[in-house]
Structure 1
């Protein structure tokens, strides 16, 4: 069983053992946007050593721990994309675009004071992952990705070292068995 095959905003793509591309090996990708042309997402488990405050000073204080850029993917690595979770009160600040539920994207050109107080968590990504719709469908069909439901908390874990395993462990049925697979299946 390979999990769901329907990719929607808010779902996760978990790299399978067959995916050896160094950009995506052992990654968890949060899908942010899906349309007829393609899919956009960010890699959740690749923190960089660069503090957000060093590059985007006013945004650093709003970031979840660790307050560093995460490597969102190989597309536009010099650009920045922010993912955030709204506070429970439901007020949607200027510059926030909903992805699913309270999870969304923040326009980093928005003055910080317009969103400060409206966000519960935020993380900034350098670059993103992008696929043409047919390209991602083909990668899923060939067994490179598991498509699973995401939880808002997945995007804001302080320690992402075991994120792939934690997400896999909560999957129903036989899919959760993949959590015990070795990094190199040929060694099994």
Structure 2
């Protein structure tokens, strides 16, 4: 069981008037899709832009999967990938130098991971045990273009469904050691844990609103606010 789903059950059980407690006092299974706020960033959480980022082209109404919350090392700040910025192009349209990309992943959607660098990140789900991929949350793995070769080899062995569980992100979103904490304190981001199917969904349309609505309360209200006009 995903320990995060167990935590989600606990969070649900603490809500007034909840229906997550069974007749004998045992907790009921968590809903398939869930999201709830957490106190501090952690690997695998999501950052949800608030209305204070409306008008900021890079991050307006974005949902970012945080791959690492950073460390005490000033060179290892938090970083992650924007989940809901699909590009118009597919991999075959970008015409990468490595033709293996087109052969095995040509029809995969390209996404903008963030404004930093030109590194290509790969998000994979539905399989495991591929060298060079780090598990972000149970069942979801992340690597870079350097790890594409073992994935291609995996595809050659007959796993035809692999590209559907494979997402390409160009660039990433990153912060200095204390920068993200300051932005959260200033109300630029909501920090939340959510079910993995929200992260792996092939359609990101309405993801920002969807996560906030699942969180409920003041977050539900935020999901309904129109974009702020910038003067």
Shift of 1:96: 1.6
Q: 1:89-138: CA deviations, max 9, x gaps? A: xx411222111211111342231334434957111101000011310000
Would the aligned equivalents of 2:37 and 2:193 in 1 still touch at CA under 8 Å?
Answer: no
Q: Which residue matches 1:42?
A: 81
The runs of at least 4 aligned residues of structure 1 exceeding 6 Å deviation read none
Structure in which a larger fraction of residues adopt strand: 1
In the superposition, the TM-score normalised over structure 1's length comes to 0.83
Which of 33, 43, 58 aligns to 2:100? It is 58
Cα–Cα, structure 1 residues 180 and 108, in superposed 2: closer, same or farther, change >3 Å?
A: same
Cα–Cα, structure 1 residues 102 and 163, in superposed 2: closer, same or farther, change >3 Å?
A: same
Q: Which residue matches 1:177?
A: 221
Aligned residues between the structures: 180
* 1:26 lines up with 2:70 in the alignment: no
Which of 110, 120, 143 aligns to 1:80? It is 120
In the superposition, the TM-score normalised over structure 2's length comes to 0.69
Shift of 1:19: 1.2
Q: 1:144-185: CA deviations, max 9, x gaps? A: 000011332223333322110111111143322221111127
Gaps of 5+ in 2: 1-35
Gaps of 5+ in 1: none
Would the aligned equivalents of 1:31 and 1:40 in 2 still touch at CA under 8 Å?
Answer: yes
CA distance in 1, matches of 2:140, 2:122: 11
Shift of 1:60: 5.3
Secondary structure of residue in 1 paired with 2:211: helix
Secondary structure of residue in 2 paired with 1:58: helix
Q: Which residue matches 2:195?
A: 151
Would the aligned equivalents of 2:136 and 2:142 in 1 still touch at CA under 8 Å?
Answer: yes
Q: Which moved more, 1:136-145 or 1:41-50?
A: 41-50
Q: Which residue matches 1:69?
A: 110
Q: 1:69-90: CA deviations, max 9, x gaps? A: 10110101x3211111143xxx
Which structure: larger Rg? 2
* 1:92 lines up with 2:129 in the alignment: yes
